[in-house]
Amino acid sequence: MADLARAAADLLEHAADSGLPVPDMARLSTGGQEVSVGFPGRKETFRTLAQWAERFGGTVTGEPYTRDDGEQSIYCQVRLPYLGVTVEAYAFIPADQTVSST
């Protein structure tokens, strides 16, 4: 667990030093050697995830998601390797924020 925590701390420090927005939450999973970082569910987060993908390598993906209360959203994520662990950066962005009003 200590190595995973060090990798997560290094990732967050590296992101901050690179001027990237920092996540609202982080979760460590020793079973899968995975770090998950969550970002706020708002339209601007698409750009944040793209910046993380560009900086650390990875592709932004998205898929429809329906919450238990019926609210529609888009589950967006970037999966990337970092210091031997898998990192998932993600956000649930409400569907009404993903439609352009042009």
CATH value at residue 81:
3.30.460
Q: Which two tokens stand for residue 29?
A: 């999973």
- Which tens digit of pLDDT belongs to each residue from 10-48? 999 999 999 999 999 999 998 888 999 999 999 999 999
The band of 95, judged by pLDDT with boundaries at 50, 70 and 90, is confident
- Return the H-helix or E-strand segment holding 61: strand 60-66
Residue 30 within a domain: yes
Full domain range(s) for residue 34: 2-97
Provide the whole-model pTM.
0.87
Strands, E assignment, the chain? 25-29, 34-38, 60-66, 72-82, 85-94
> How many domains, the chain?
1
* Residue 102 maps to a domain: no
Residue 23 lies in a domain: yes
